[in-house]
Structure 1
Amino acid sequence: MKYKKVICAVLTLVLTVSIISPLTASALNFTPSSGVDEKGEPVPLSLYSESVYMINLDTGDVIVDINGDEERAPASLTKIMTAAVLLDEFKGSEKKMKEKYVSAGSEAFDELYGTGASTADIQPNEKVNYYDLLAALMIPSSCEAANIIAINLGGSISGFCDMMNEKAEKLGLEHTHFSNAHGLFVSQNYSSCSDIAVLCKYLLDKYDVFKEIVAMPSYQMESTEYHSVGSTIVNTNYMLSSTSDYYYSYVKGIKTGSLDAAGRCLASYASYDGYNYLTVTMGAPMEKLEEDVKKGENDPESFYANDVIYYNMLDHAALYDWAFDYLVSTDFINPNSEVTEAAVEFGDNADYVNLKPAEGYTQLWPKSVSTDEIEQQISVKKNIVAPIEPGDVLGEMKLVYKGEEIASIDLVATSKVERAAVSEKLEIAKAFPRSTEFRYAVYAVVMLFVVYTIGYVIYIQFKYMKK
């Protein structure tokens, strides 16, 4: 868990913790910390990236969301969608990708010349199999690999972009549109941290070959007519390199992105002690900050003395350290605990029934926040009438933290209560004089009596007149 931290007071990270069960919940906001001060108080964690989105891969719950839906230039994170279209085309088959060789001419290369585009040194018309193209795309962030894939699968780069956007729509990416396959150009090419996170989770869940490639620190491409011994490509994510200042042993990938218009971007995921997190950040500084220039001058042996500082990787290491050190899966509710009882009318064997939660409640929770601070607000339905079956929903428990509702859990009956026929009839008899039906009946009898009386008087009068 050791890495070289750089703390800059630019913003406070906001943690969004959600639940791990089909319950309703509201967002909870915590401030992650980078440690404690001399008074034992948490020191808020500061980040460099302008947009941050972090999820727990085991549950899909959002852990951190700072401008997560903001539409930004994603730089080479664009290539993750290029990889998705390719993997879908081959259904993730490594064998089939290795058997299919393709190439492209100037149409794949002309737009890249003079741009400083990242490359795997693939040449025009050089035949490369799709597996190696995928590796070149994701490991050294090869722009020519992106275009070769696009032209061969989509018929043209624009045709492939249509495929990318169709995939984005299918995945429900609402803040995303692609106009190229590599992310080098920004016109109409945008996405958000939250959308990239959805895309990454889709690929991690579906394709093992994707997980294998993005975790490679380096890879030896197959030999070709242009490269007789193949090409060694190195991952641009230095968090994977054990010789790097940014090495983080729990990180497994996924993709870097750097562009003046986008800042330094990064999508990564990490696993430790049974917990798995995915983080996407955009908009970290491209240039070394002034305070870090001074740090490098004062300590020439530190990584601050390097010409480039990868602030995106520092952010990811800080986030993972915080999550692994301070978040723990916590049980808040025991599903077998009886929490209250409900009165039951017309019960044969009982006039009440015990209630328990319909299911347990577990969520990631900061170790520094006591669960004793969670308030349980219980409400029970009124006028409950037998029969009652185990599992019938008769109430609700709300969990509230500092005035915020974090979950609403159904309370269900733990036992059966049968209807008592005698007591029911007796109760109905007692209630009948107070009922609307009784009033209607009395009114009807009175009216019948009045009508009968009037009719009888008329009859007597008519009979007397005949005499």
Structure 2
Amino acid sequence: MPVGQIFEAAIKQRLSLALRPLVLLLALLGALNSASAAPSFETVAPTAVLVDHDTHAILFDKNADERYPPASLAKLMTVELLFRELKEGRISLDDEFPVSERAWREGGAQSGGSTMFLPVNSSVSVRDLIRGIVIQSGNDATIVVAEALGGTEEKFAEQMTERAKALGMTDSTFRNSHGLPDPEQRVTMRDLAVLASHLIREYPEFYKYFGEEEFTYNEITQRNRNPLLDMGADGLKTGYTSEAGYGLVASVERDSRRLIVAVGHLSSASARTEEARKLVEWGFRSFENRTLHQADDQVGEMEVLGGAAATVPVVVRSGVVVTVPRGAEDLHTILHRDEPLQAPVAEGDRVGWLQVVSAGDVIREDPVHAAAAVEPASFVSRTWGLATSYLWSTWDDTWAFVFPPKEVASTGSP
């Protein structure tokens, strides 16, 4: 490349670099000025959270990190360990587990709690145990699972807590498989929402059992206790004890959107149903998902020092979808580099990250990768580049710029 062209390119590159902080500032100020008020919601539920399953956006949060007794919501952790054993091939749906005297005595009909009515010293298939837990909420069924997978109820509870921590449920502790009162057994609604999303995402072949309306075992038919099935819910679980009050974790899918609601410590079953239903309807009505970029979309370019090419195109590997208030117009994306790029750059290298900004807040971050390889420049070009870098060394080297989303497509409009 002629020296004149190299010099001209260097000047343009550095001027662009110097102006980018100003562009960023103006864009963020514009976002703040045009910010639309976030939708508001009130609930009598002492603790509640509403989450978009696909984007992980928290749409509503009321005391979601308060620790409460889980009641039968603890059974969601029990089935997670059971589903994991199935998925990893250590057990099968046709395997049969024995019903111990303890399971029959502490979880059977004479216990006065929710039960699957398992006969003592019988055996029951894993398939039926799943239904007995997620549809009938059988305490006896959970004890059977605990003893089969953990050896004892106590050992299995330790595994439940350990697994919960691994899933990011940092504020939950389990002491039994069924959720009956224990002073050390506590969960949060946020943790239960995390667990629900995990169950839906990781175990679709077993999650389907949550949506069955009834199950008959030992000639006794029991209905699914999920009160939101009639509005499109396909899972998950209710819970109640006098200590815990009435709780619910449920998931509703509508028009390609899925919301997860968790409410707890309510005073009645009707209040639990009403508050959860209102919260879900508000979530679908007040928010929408927008696709800003498809997988492998180019989202910008980054300067490469000492490269045969002055810049390299960068892409996001997965789609960028965000949940925002309906009608929001203040979305911006900001591209950052991890560090100054020095040739050579290999195709696929992570080179920075993309932020999505709404109303002045960062609502999502995604890594970006080089879409092409950049080889080192020739000796002459490298020498000139070093010289110009020295001359311009006092200029601000902030590498961030703003541009409107390439594609904004609304989905899931109820």
TM-score with structure 1 setting the length:
0.60
Distance 1:279 1:147 in 2: 27
Closer, same or farther in 2 for the Cα pair 1:93/1:277, shift >3 Å?
farther
TM-fit CA distance, 1:276: 1.9
Distance 2:331 2:131 in 1: 48
Corresponding position: 1:204 with 2:204: no
Of 251, 264, 269, which residue of structure 2 is paired with 1:282?
A: 264
Corresponding position: 1:367 with 2:349: no
The one-letter amino acid of 1:251's match is: A
8 Å CA contact 1:102–1:130 kept in 2: the answer is no
Distance 2:131 2:350 in 1: 53
1:234-283 Cα distance to aligned partner (Å, 9 max, x none): 1111222xxxxxx21x2101100112222221111121111122222222
The one-letter amino acid of 1:404's match is: D
Closer, same or farther in 2 for the Cα pair 1:121/1:424, shift >3 Å?
closer
The one-letter amino acid of 2:227's match is: Y
Closer, same or farther in 2 for the Cα pair 1:150/1:30, shift >3 Å?
farther
Of 248, 251, 257, which residue of structure 2 is paired with 1:269?
A: 251
Distance 1:142 1:96 in 2: 20
Map of 2:48 onto structure 1: 52
Distance 2:128 2:76 in 1: 15
In the alignment, structure 2 segments of 5+ residues that lack a partner are: 1-34, 391-414
Closer, same or farther in 2 for the Cα pair 1:126/1:347, shift >3 Å?
closer
Aligned with 1:321: secondary structure? helix
8 Å CA contact 1:397–1:411 kept in 2: the answer is no
Closer, same or farther in 2 for the Cα pair 1:236/1:387, shift >3 Å?
closer
Corresponding position: 1:80 with 2:76: yes
Closer, same or farther in 2 for the Cα pair 1:318/1:104, shift >3 Å?
same
Closer, same or farther in 2 for the Cα pair 1:421/1:252, shift >3 Å?
same
Map of 1:165 onto structure 2: 161
Corresponding position: 1:234 with 2:193: no
TM-fit CA distance, 1:117: 1.5
Distance 1:198 1:69 in 2: 12
Distance 1:362 1:173 in 2: 24
1:174-213 Cα distance to aligned partner (Å, 9 max, x none): 1111112211213211112222223233332333453122
Q: How many residues align?
A: 352
Of 214, 232, 236, which residue of structure 2 is paired with 1:218?
A: 214
8 Å CA contact 1:56–1:276 kept in 2: the answer is yes
Corresponding position: 1:146 with 2:128: no
Map of 1:195 onto structure 2: 191
Map of 1:65 onto structure 2: 61
Map of 2:126 onto structure 1: 130
Closer, same or farther in 2 for the Cα pair 1:186/1:400, shift >3 Å?
same
8 Å CA contact 1:75–1:183 kept in 2: the answer is yes
Corresponding position: 1:104 with 2:94: no
Q: Map 1:7-46 to 2 at 5 A.
A: 31-32=38-39, 44-46=40-42
Deviates more, 1:324-333 or 1:251-260: 324-333
Distance 1:174 1:203 in 2: 17
Map of 1:310 onto structure 2: 270
Map of 1:255 onto structure 2: 237
1:65-96 Cα distance to aligned partner (Å, 9 max, x none): 33333221111011112222333344487993
Map of 1:321 onto structure 2: 281
Aligned with 2:247: secondary structure? strand
Distance 2:75 2:152 in 1: 16
Aligned with 1:183: secondary structure? coil
TM-fit CA distance, 1:104: 2.0
Distance 1:125 1:347 in 2: 74
Aligned with 2:128: secondary structure? helix
1:322-368 Cα distance to aligned partner (Å, 9 max, x none): 333333222446997897997x999999xx86x87644753122213
1:53-75 Cα distance to aligned partner (Å, 9 max, x none): 33333344444333333221111
Closer, same or farther in 2 for the Cα pair 1:374/1:61, shift >3 Å?
closer
1:428-467 Cα distance to aligned partner (Å, 9 max, x none): 89999xxxxxxxxxxxxxxxxxxxxxxxxxxxxxxxxxxx
Aligned with 1:280: secondary structure? strand
TM-score with structure 2 setting the length:
0.67
1:208-229 Cα distance to aligned partner (Å, 9 max, x none): 45312211110122xxxxx4xx
Distance 1:166 1:380 in 2: 37
TM-fit CA distance, 1:400: 4.2
8 Å CA contact 2:55–2:322 kept in 1: the answer is no
Deviates more, 1:266-275 or 1:387-396: 387-396
Closer, same or farther in 2 for the Cα pair 1:388/1:285, shift >3 Å?
same
Closer, same or farther in 2 for the Cα pair 1:259/1:31, shift >3 Å?
farther
The one-letter amino acid of 2:117's match is: D
Distance 2:265 2:306 in 1: 66
The one-letter amino acid of 1:272's match is: R
Closer, same or farther in 2 for the Cα pair 1:50/1:422, shift >3 Å?
same
Q: Report which structure shows greater RCO (CA 8 Å, sep ≥6).
A: 2
Aligned with 2:93: secondary structure? helix
1:130-182 Cα distance to aligned partner (Å, 9 max, x none): 32222122112122222233334433322322232232233342111111221
